[in-house]
Structure 1
Amino acid sequence: MTTFNDFITYEHDLEHDFEHNLAHKKEFSPPKIYIAKNDLSKRWYVYFSYRDPSTGKLKRQKNIYGSVNTFSTKEDRMALLSRYRRRLLKLLQQGYNPFIDNTELYKSQFIVKDAINTSEEKITKAFSPQIQYSKSINQREEVVVKKDIPEKIEIEEPKMTLREAFDFSLRIKEKQISSNSHKDYMYTTNAVVKWAKENYPKLKTIDQFDKKAALKFLNALLLRTSSRNRNNYRLNLSSLLQTLEDNEIIESNPIRNIPVLRSIPKRNKSYTTEEHEKIFGYLEKEDPLLLLYIKFISYNLLRPIEVCRLKIRDINVADRTLQFKAKNSPLKIKLIPKKILDELPDLSKLDPDYHLFTPIKIGGNWDTDDVNKSNYFSKRFKTVVKEHFNLDINQTLYSFRHTFITILYQSLVKGSTPHAAKSELMGITGHNTMTALEKYLRNIDAVLPNDYSNHFDND
């Protein structure tokens, strides 16, 4: 029996212009060429799918290799694969079916016509307009005639799986974002892959992760957690999928048209004057290291994770400055107030690469990432302080920054105008714009009106 593969790789070039058989058009997928990312050490081939009569679904057929992988240049391989692809498409349009014996159809289309076209003139017509012949007195000269419009060859590689596509995007993102953000993105992709495996096992490739699938994932997350968490996952996914779109791995980013949900942001509740004074007094005896950590947040107005990033070399005692990586800047420099300088031990003999804060002392090696360091001090504060004073759940280490910015603003505004006070405060807090500072002050309720009791005197 003549195999289906034999029809395609038959080296005698019978490029007849078969009529399209529309009845079979939807029985198969358009043949495509796989070029292994132009890697000549790997196998190149033509592939396609045909509708399985037993299931009614398109089924991937055996790859068409022929002799293409014996060639050592991309041009030669593409030329032969293009020929295989054209033949395969015409055979499928004519009615060839990989699930049945096509020998008789093969004979009717090839063998009979070979017998008829025995003369050179008939062979010439059979191959026209590909090849024409012209005669001269002493020789026959073959002239290749090019088509006016070259055939467009569709080249497509197998689709990436969810994991492969996300890993590709993560490798690209790794050069653009911080290590903490990269880890956050990794957690997001792990959650999507796990969700798909458990809930939609048929969702295998990245092109199947469309808007509908993305909405199902985000809705499941929303029902299990919160709108804020759902929005964070949406943001991470959108960024990763946009990278895939930019690199032509997917046609479009399905997250782009999924709206952000309204969420109520959590706010770190400020401490009263009485509360923070009691905490400071308590920590002087119970945990002086934690107290100094809190004072860097309070008096230097740093975020907890920014304090965790500080190293000995970042502290310039002579100039009374420190440098650090901020939320909105790769490097910022701040003045160290006297309240902090007076409590710092001698740092001159310590290794400049030591971290300023470690779990057991000032100045030492602490080999873990910044998020873990920040989480460590948060848990330590919870155990030592929050449980002892029975503080509100929203009173955190970050709350000390809010508390002392409020104290500072209210002190600066006395005997001054609000604008002048904010202008001076902006240089201390590190906000880039007055608008950003004003929004922050409103959010923490730092700006309070003067006593307005006299307006009720007429009551």
Structure 2
Amino acid sequence: MTNFNELIALEYENEYESAYDLSVKRNFSNPKIYSASGDLTKRWYVYFSFRDPKSGKLKRLTPFYGNANKYKTKEDRMSVLVTYRKVLLRLLKQGYNPYTDNTELHQRLTSKNNDASGQVPTNKENKKTGRDDDGPKMTVREAFDFGLARKEKILSPTTKRGYENKIKNFLKWLEENRPELTDITELNKQVVTSFLNDVVDRTSARNRNNFRTDLSSITQVLVDNDILKENFIKKIPTLKTVPERNKTYSQETQEKIFGYLEITDPILLLYIKFVSYGFLRPIEVCRLKVKDIKLESKTVEFKAKNSPMKTKIIPEILWNDLPDLEKLDKEAVLFTPEKIGGTWETEIGNRRDYFSKRFKKVVKDHFDLGTDYGLYSFRHTYITKVYRALSKKFSPFDAKSRLMLITGHSSMTALEKYLRDIDAELPEDYSTMLESEHG
């Protein structure tokens, strides 16, 4: 029986599109690349499933490694595996079957390679076989996989997931709206603009701008690696957006919400109190583990927005509401759907989204709150309370300096902008200035 590796080798040498277009029943899954989450100490490979003739079900077969793991950089391994994947898919479409003798296919490929040796195809032949003078082409998917592999070294896990999600959405849109566009060099400003227009029609200008930024970033990697000649996405303008803003709650509304949650959802209430009294952002609360609450010093350690790790005191008003944490697993997630301190195997973004949806269902829908009221509103509400209390005792500068220690803002400028945005800083009554001279 012909060795599968020999078939791969034959097609690898002639990577371009086959002149044969065989119609075969699809008894296999599309080959996929396993990249070990970027870990170069592990083996990367291409894998696929084929329909077992006995059971009639798709069965995972032995992965194909080839020479990919000889390469020591992520981009080199990905480039080789992308080619292997294309070759493997082509072989499957041409009739390769791991459960039968593939001698006929082997002979056909050998004959094709022998016929092509020593010949330089004309431009007309180039178009037929899918090759050109610039060498092998990359599909849009392969190019974006390559770009992300090059970029992932400098991305946080959360940012990487954001890139992956946007690329996935873009590729899906291409499949549905521009299925004839496969080669990365066929991608242009007009196509991307059409996609971005669709995004803004379905969602918002802000989301559209985020897609533009991330797609442009990956495209620039392709330009830097001579896969594309220019980053045409840079020429697509950003759209003006209205900044999203969460309003502060009135004293009456806040007290009603807390009273309601004491009875209906104590876990959500404690979650909100970390935002309200601890001035943490919702995603920062979602990152907390039991071990991050330091019982001796009454402090909490957490990963903040713009720093690797920060420490804040836990005020008495919040400390008194905490359950007994001493007997809990220190590695447990502090906030889970069912209890304080447990296992929750999901990404941080999913945890944040879960509590946002829970808040909408339990609180917003019940109190009929508008779209400009959310979890962030509690942070704004209580920072406003503290600032106005400090302003009664201290000068504006001293009040803000003390507030910075509480909120954790990195600079006075950032804090002042934040206070302006939430309307925490209001002037004194200026009625006397409006009176006429002779009034």
| TM-score higher than 0.5 | yes
Match in the other structure for 2:295: 317
Report whether the alignment pairs 1:208 with 2:186.
yes
CA contact (8 A) 1:304 1:397 kept: yes
SS at match of 2:301: strand
For 1:98 and 1:247, locate their aligned partners in 2 and report how far apart those are by CA, in whole Å. 28
1:269-324 deviation digits (Å, cap 9, x = unpaired): 11012211221122222222211111100011011111011001111121121111
- Which one of the candidate residues 348, 360, 381 is aligned to 1:370? 348
Match in the other structure for 1:397: 375
Q: Which amino acid is 1:222 matched to? A: V
Match in the other structure for 1:81: none
Report whether the alignment pairs 1:181 with 2:164.
no
SS at match of 1:255: helix
Choose 1 or 2 for highest CA Rg.
1
SS at match of 1:363: strand
Deviation at 1:330, TM superposition (A): 2.1
Aligned length: 333
SS at match of 1:323: strand
- Which one of the candidate residues 239, 248, 256 is aligned to 1:278? 256
For 1:206 and 1:398, locate their aligned partners in 2 and report how far apart those are by CA, in whole Å. 41
CA contact (8 A) 1:44 1:68 kept: no
For 1:223 and 1:289, locate their aligned partners in 2 and report how far apart those are by CA, in whole Å. 37
Report whether the alignment pairs 1:381 with 2:359.
yes
CA contact (8 A) 2:139 2:183 kept: yes
Report whether the alignment pairs 1:242 with 2:220.
yes
1:401-457 deviation digits (Å, cap 9, x = unpaired): 111111111111223222221222122212212221111111111111112223344
For 1:373 and 1:418, locate their aligned partners in 2 and report how far apart those are by CA, in whole Å. 38
Report whether the alignment pairs 1:220 with 2:198.
yes
Pick closer, same or farther for the CA change 1:98–1:258 going to 2, 3 Å.
closer
Pick closer, same or farther for the CA change 1:46–1:334 going to 2, 3 Å.
closer
Report whether the alignment pairs 1:295 with 2:273.
yes
TM-score, structure 2 normalization: 0.69
SS at match of 2:309: strand
For 1:194 and 1:98, locate their aligned partners in 2 and report how far apart those are by CA, in whole Å. 31
Match in the other structure for 2:322: 344
CA contact (8 A) 1:317 1:341 kept: no
1:100-126 deviation digits (Å, cap 9, x = unpaired): xxxxxxxxxxxxxxxxxxxxxxxxxxx
CA contact (8 A) 1:214 1:254 kept: no
- Which one of the candidate residues 395, 399, 411 is aligned to 1:421? 399
TM-score, structure 1 normalization: 0.66
Query: Aligned-residue CA RMSD in angstroms?
Result: 3.0
1:9-158 equivalences under 5 Å are 43-44=12-13, 88=120, 156-158=134-136
Q: Which amino acid is 1:423 matched to? A: S
Match in the other structure for 2:332: 354
SS at match of 2:303: strand
Match in the other structure for 1:449: 427
Pick closer, same or farther for the CA change 1:260–1:275 going to 2, 3 Å.
same
CA contact (8 A) 1:299 1:340 kept: yes
For 2:404 and 2:255, locate their aligned partners in 1 and report how far apart those are by CA, in whole Å. 25
- Give structure 2 stretches of 5+ with no counterpart: 1-7, 18-108, 127-131
- Give structure 1 stretches of 5+ with no counterpart: 1-38, 49-61, 70-83, 100-153
Report whether the alignment pairs 1:437 with 2:415.
yes
SS at match of 2:154: coil
Q: Which amino acid is 1:276 matched to? A: Q
CA contact (8 A) 1:270 1:403 kept: yes
CA contact (8 A) 1:46 1:64 kept: no
For 1:155 and 1:361, locate their aligned partners in 2 and report how far apart those are by CA, in whole Å. 63
For 1:211 and 1:157, locate their aligned partners in 2 and report how far apart those are by CA, in whole Å. 24
For 1:436 and 1:445, locate their aligned partners in 2 and report how far apart those are by CA, in whole Å. 14
Q: Which amino acid is 1:422 matched to? A: K
CA contact (8 A) 1:228 1:263 kept: yes
Percent of aligned positions that are identical? 51
Deviation at 1:385, TM superposition (A): 1.6
